[in-house]
Structure 1
Amino acid sequence: MSIYLDVIWLLNFSFDLFLLVLTAIALKRKIMKIRIILAALLGSSIVIMMFSPLAFISTHPLGKMSISILMVLLAFGFKRFRYFFHGLFTFYFVTFLVGGGMIGVHYFLQAEITYLDGILMTNSTGFGHPISWLFVLIGFPVLWMFARNSLEGFEAKKIHYEQLVTVKIKVDSTQMTLKGLVDSGNQLFDPITRSPVMILDTQKVKDYIPEQLVHHALQDDVMKAMTDDQQEGHEWEHRVRIIPYRVVGKENQFLLGFKPDEVWIETNSEKIKVQKTIVGLNRTALSSEDEYQCIVHPKMLQGPSIQNVS
């Protein structure tokens, strides 16, 4: 049997890279591309070791554990022991989750099993059958996506939905600081970019937003207001988004919004940089007692935690 070492190494490098990215997503840590790639290169070096005098390291459990520890250290760094072990055990969990899923599906589908004199026999080789490699190439990305979506869904359920947070929105040189309510009932997404939509009380931020945009946002028929407007465009015109939504008893409702440059969320324990979002402008007041001025989409809290708030 021919062994294509470069192909095996590339597959292992790709798998290690995907598993480290999935670990970063589960931990809500910022993905440092160079560090993740270097860690994946370190992990895939185990394939090279198998054909060198260092083969004993790649086959011994302690050797494998040492390499995985170094991978986590290289990918996420070391701040304190709790931080490190949280990353290490999450990496193991993600690896067993994806790897176990692939093994289970493979043995569920494979038929290369025979019985000889009461002995169970399988046709397997050290580096896999071409069919099994094809299964790995197709099955791993599918299971990776499934695990990623499952972890994000699990993370969303962990969020304490009825909490107030501080929201900072930056557009060019304009910065707004607001109180926001994290609400699980807000499941609004931009249909084109699939960005989560947070809702702002337009009246509370009208001094920060172009007057023409405020006027359009406060109209019952947003589309008609924009079509009938004969004025020249405003400085945020390229940021404007129109988001369709549904209200009980009404159809074809639209919410006017804009794309910010940056959005930060501060909770009691951490500061989160939102990866992507659209800011929707609501026509009516969100809180009768002015406890909050915006409603935060729960997906926005799944961004990387940049720093802990002491």
Structure 2
Amino acid sequence: MVIYAEYLFLENGVAGLMILLLTRRICGFPSSWPRLVLGSVLCGLYAFILFWEGLTWWLATLFKLIFSAAVVLLVFPSLRGKGILRALLVFYLVSFAMGGIVIASLYFFNSTGITARGAFYIGQITYIRVFLGMALAWGCIYAFSCFIRARLRKDRTEAKLRVTLGSRTVTMEGFVDTGNFLRDPISGRPVCVTTEKVIEKLEPEEAQFCIVPYRGVGKEGGLLAGIRPDSAALITPDSKPRPVNIILAVSKGELPVGHDGKQYDVLLHEALTEGGILQGE
């Protein structure tokens, strides 16, 4: 079987990009597009080493582990300690899942292929087959991650919001409002709604103010005064504080009371709980 270098590079480069994107989505770790593209290029180049006959099995395995760790550190430079291990584990799990889906699709379409050094190469390759195979694997894993995140989101109904403005810091009891879709029209930041009583505990005279338009169900719209805090962090019982970039809108009235009679200080935007499946664990 003749293996064309450009097809080999394209297959593994596209596959590497999708694996890195899914790893970022599942873990919730930040990464820029230039780093993702660079990581996918390295994955494409790595494919040529798989067919190097001089590598022993243990040396090939060691090289795979080192290469995977290097790509993860390159694409997610902010990770430390356990974060690196999580990202590496998810990177491998997504790789295995995508490989299984591709092999299953080959069996379904009666396609041929060869294996070498732990790699599976598809014969009679075309761009259409590359696109369909990658799209199928991407769709399956993406849909599964969406399902898991949706189930987790249902359990995240309460969280604390720690806000710093000037020299003062206030920790608020927050409720995740799934009907809150407010965003700052200029910056696109999610908007959390609090009361004047809470704002008075900060230093509003030092804040940057903005206007947030809103529209309620069955009600006329209006404008809310908002402030941009110096910093904010979301705190949940099972995770470490996570920095969030938000706008605090001020409501003149009291916030709704919870089912158990609990009074909340802030209504959190639903986007704040949409971190990765493993984020903050």
Equivalent position of 1:267 in the other structure: 236
1:44-64 deviation digits (Å, cap 9, x = unpaired): 34411244335776xx9x956
Q: In structure 2, what is the Cα distance between the partners aligned to 1:236 and 1:56?
A: 62
Give the alignment of 1:99-114 within 5 angstroms.
none
Pairing partner for 1:190 from 172, 183, 190? 183
Equivalent position of 1:75 in the other structure: 72
Equivalent position of 1:204 in the other structure: 198
Equivalent position of 2:215 in the other structure: 245
Equivalent position of 2:44 in the other structure: 44
> Which SS does the other structure have where 1:263 is aligned?
strand
Q: In structure 2, what is the Cα distance between the partners aligned to 1:86 and 1:147?
A: 18
Aligned AA (1:181):
G
Q: In structure 2, what is the Cα distance between the partners aligned to 1:169 and 1:48?
A: 51
> Which SS does the other structure have where 2:220 is aligned?
strand
Equivalent position of 2:267 in the other structure: 295
The Cα of 1:198 is off from its aligned counterpart by: 1.3
37 and 256 in structure 1: CA distance in 2 versus 1, 3 angstrom threshold: same
The Cα of 1:94 is off from its aligned counterpart by: 3.0
270 and 4 in structure 1: CA distance in 2 versus 1, 3 angstrom threshold: same
Aligned AA (2:240):
E
63 and 50 in structure 1: CA distance in 2 versus 1, 3 angstrom threshold: closer
Equivalent position of 1:279 in the other structure: 248
Aligned AA (2:191):
V
User: Identity over the aligned pairs, expressed in percent?
Assistant: 18
Equivalent position of 2:162 in the other structure: 167
Give the alignment of 1:20-59 within 5 angstroms.
20-31=20-31, 40=40, 43-54=43-54
- If the length of structure 2 is used for normalisation, what is the TM-score? 0.65
Q: In structure 1, what is the Cα distance between the partners aligned to 2:12 and 2:112?
A: 22
Aligned AA (1:9):
F
Structure 2's unaligned 5+ residue stretches are: 74-78, 114-121
Give the alignment of 1:11-160 within 5 angstroms.
11-31=11-31, 40=40, 43-54=43-54, 63=60, 67=64, 70-72=67-69, 75=72, 79=81, 86-98=86-98, 122=111, 126=123, 128-136=125-133, 146=143, 149-150=146-147, 152-159=149-156
Q: Is the CA contact 1:17–1:36 (under 8 Å) kept in the aligned structure 2? A: yes
The Cα of 1:36 is off from its aligned counterpart by: 6.1
1:226-248 deviation digits (Å, cap 9, x = unpaired): xxxxxxxxx835xx24232324x
36 and 185 in structure 1: CA distance in 2 versus 1, 3 angstrom threshold: closer
11 and 243 in structure 1: CA distance in 2 versus 1, 3 angstrom threshold: farther
Q: Is the CA contact 2:111–2:123 (under 8 Å) kept in the aligned structure 1? A: no
1:242-279 deviation digits (Å, cap 9, x = unpaired): 232324x52335444345453212334401012x4332
6 and 89 in structure 1: CA distance in 2 versus 1, 3 angstrom threshold: same
Aligned AA (1:49):
I
The Cα of 1:205 is off from its aligned counterpart by: 0.8
